Amino acid sequence: MRIVSALAVALLGMSVVGAVTSYGIDTPPPYGGTTAAVVDDTGNLRVPADYRTAYQLLGSWVVAADDGPGSRELHVVYASPGTIAAYRKDGHFPDGAVLVKEVFDTRTEDMTTGTVSSAGALAGWFVMVKDDVGRFSGNKLWGDGWGWSWFDATDPQKTTSTDYTTDCRSCHEPARQSDWIYTHGYPALTR
């Protein structure tokens, strides 16, 4: 037993030394896997091409129409694989977690269930990427533990956002205590 755990400690020590020497103390490790497909080397985000099949559904929101029945917008939120399981374990979004929010215009019609609004044209996407270590401190689309960007439906590769503090943060202020995410709308995050 002793020898095994001593060996484990030695191996752990070696891998820590390896991580520090390859990236240096000031350079946090780059993202891997699913997240690497969303974030380029300088911290620019893009909408993951496969989120509708590879990601998991977090939940949805409807914004009521200002006049008349029905809703004017439908929002559907997805999380990268593993995010829901990790959140259920410790109540935190893990480093590298990707959230994608689709924004749809709606079509409202009478159906056999009542007056129903459903997804019409896609207006675009909001994307957020969790960052526990401050990878892109010089990039104005990163801060408060996340990367933040909006994409028009016509260009999922290039954001039109320029500064998350003015484009996003004030609107997410009410959710500051839950890591800037409106978690109460997501049944998948609770057991």
153 binds ligand HEC (CB under 6 A): no
Residue 182 binds ligand HEC, judged by CB under 6 A: yes
Figure out which of the listed residues 55, 78, 150, 151 binds ligand HEC, where binding follows CB under 6 A.
Answer: 150
Residues numbered 64-83 forming contacts with ligand HEC, rule: CB under 6 A: 75, 77
Choosing from 39, 43, 101, 102, the residue that interacts with ligand HEC (CB under 6 A) is 101
How many residues at the interface with ligand HEC, by CB under 6 A?
20
Q: Do 129 and 22 touch, CB atoms closer than 8 A?
A: no
Asked if 110 and 89 count as a contact pair (C-beta separation under 8 A), the reply is no
Q: Which of 128, 131, 136, 156 binds ligand HEC (CB under 6 A)?
A: 128
Residues 20-59 that bind ligand HEC (CB under 6 A): none
- In the complex, the smallest distance separating the C-beta of residue 50 from ligand HEC, rounded to whole angstroms, is 17
CA nearest 138: which of 47, 46, 43, 45? 43
Contact residues for ligand HEC, defined by CB under 6 A: 61, 63, 75, 77, 99, 101, 126, 128, 148-150, 161, 167-168, 171-172, 175, 181-182, 185
